[in-house]
């Protein structure tokens, strides 16, 4: 079945207004770059995810799930498939004793503050991570020596390829350094967090420390997607990029931050290709200097030109 046929079926099955064509994706990512999605489907709850799965069953259609888009760079050519955008029904947060259930679209800082107000500790490290619960589960997000695996008690997953919904244990998710075993068609519905009581003053103090550290070391106000590269074992990607003399290095409308070398900035109106070229050129120069091949932490989706010899330009 063609993409257009699949989109037509989605229009028939989902609520009016849930499906849109040719949607610019730049406003759905923190880099604010990239082209349009051939189709975007907005879903507000697990039931609608189930309907979406029924329509997609057996179709060879590319699917991209977007939460806050904080580690995503979309090609200038856009996404020639279906983008799934999780709506307000996936923002809910509830508690049961020391267990907190947070919807996949909920902002990590919002959840951290929500837990702090209730004197629940163990999620403070996410206060300055500009991502969502779903993305944090998918990539096992972390900061300040902790990661999602340390707080995660379980997650509910809907497989858009099979239509099945299952509650997964942390062990079954294959969580490692900035990774999980979730596929592109497996959508996080919510995550359960196992936390512990602690005085609010202590929780707030810890979060203030994390906020201050971020403000002093990271370009939070600029168009970026957080850390660009994973830290290699026993070292830091930012140190390697800086040691290669690349702080401030620029390719077109994208540059390495002068504040933190593992953060890359996109100028307003910059093409996504510039971000891609910058990442590839920095990766090459670090490898040439240190012998270490850095692994990108941000995700590039869609078609990008391979023109390494043409940069900088």
Residue 289 CA to its chain's centroid (Å): 30
Distance (Å) of CA 86 to CA 99, 131, 187, 223, 311: 23, 13, 10, 22, 37
CA dist., res. 52 & res. 43, Å (int)? 8
Residue among 266, 288, 269, 287 nearest 277 (CA): 266
Relative to beta strand 93-96, strand 99-103 is antiparallel
Distance (Å) of CA 214 to CA 110, 115, 136: 16, 20, 18
Q: Is 156 a catalytic residue?
A: no
Terminal CA-CA length for the chain: 42
Annotated catalytic residue within 168, 178, 214, 283 = 178
CA dist., res. 257 & res. 264, Å (int)? 5
CA dist., res. 148 & res. 150, Å (int)? 5
Q: Is 297 a catalytic residue?
A: yes
Annotated catalytic residue within 104, 107, 132, 227 = 227
Annotated catalytic residue within 124, 147, 281, 297 = 297
- Greatest Cα pair distance in the chain: 57
Sequential DSSP letters for 258-288: SS-TT-EEE-TT--HHHHHHHHHHHHHHHHH
Q: Is 178 a catalytic residue?
A: yes
Residues belonging to the active site: 178, 227, 297
């Amino acid at each position: 079945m063609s993409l257009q046929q699949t989109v037509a079926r989605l229009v028939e099955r989902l609520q009016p207004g849930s499906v849109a064509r040719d949607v610019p994706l730049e406003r759905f990512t923190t880099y604010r770059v990239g082209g349009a999605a051939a189709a975007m489907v907005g879903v507000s709850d697990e039931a609608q995810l189930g309907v979406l799965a029924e329509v997609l069953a057996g179709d060879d259609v590319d699917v991209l799930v977007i939460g806050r888009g904080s580690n995503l760079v979309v090609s200038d050519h856009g996404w020639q498939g279906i983008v799934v955008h999780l709506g307000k029904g996936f923002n809910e947060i509830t508690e049961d004793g020391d267990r907190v259930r947070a919807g996949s679209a909920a902002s990590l800082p919002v959840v951290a503050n929500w837990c702090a107000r209730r004197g629940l500790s163990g999620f403070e490290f996410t206060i300055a991570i500009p991502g969502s619960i779903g993305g944090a589960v998918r990539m096992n997000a972390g900061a300040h020596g902790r990661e999602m695996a340390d707080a995660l008690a379980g997650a509910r997953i809907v497989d858009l390829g099979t239509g099945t919904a299952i509650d997964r244990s942390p062990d079954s998710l294959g969580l490692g350094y900035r990774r999980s075993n979730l596929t592109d068609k497996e959508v996080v519905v919510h995550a359960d967090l196992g936390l512990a009581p602690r005085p609010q003053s202590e929780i707030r103090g810890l979060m203030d420390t994390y906020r201050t550290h971020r403000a002093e070391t990271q370009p939070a106000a600029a168009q970026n997607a957080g850390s660009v590269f994973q830290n290699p074992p026993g070292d830091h990607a930012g140190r390697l990029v800086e040691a290669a003399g690349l702080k401030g290095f620029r390719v077109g409308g994208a540059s390495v931050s002068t504040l933190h070398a593992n953060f890359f900035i996109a100028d307003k109106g910059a093409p996504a290709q510039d971000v891609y070229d910058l990442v590839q050129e920095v990766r090459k120069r670090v490898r040439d200097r240190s012998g270490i091949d850095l692994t990108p932490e941000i995700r590039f989706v869609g078609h990008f030109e391979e023109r390494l010899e043409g940069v900088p330009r």
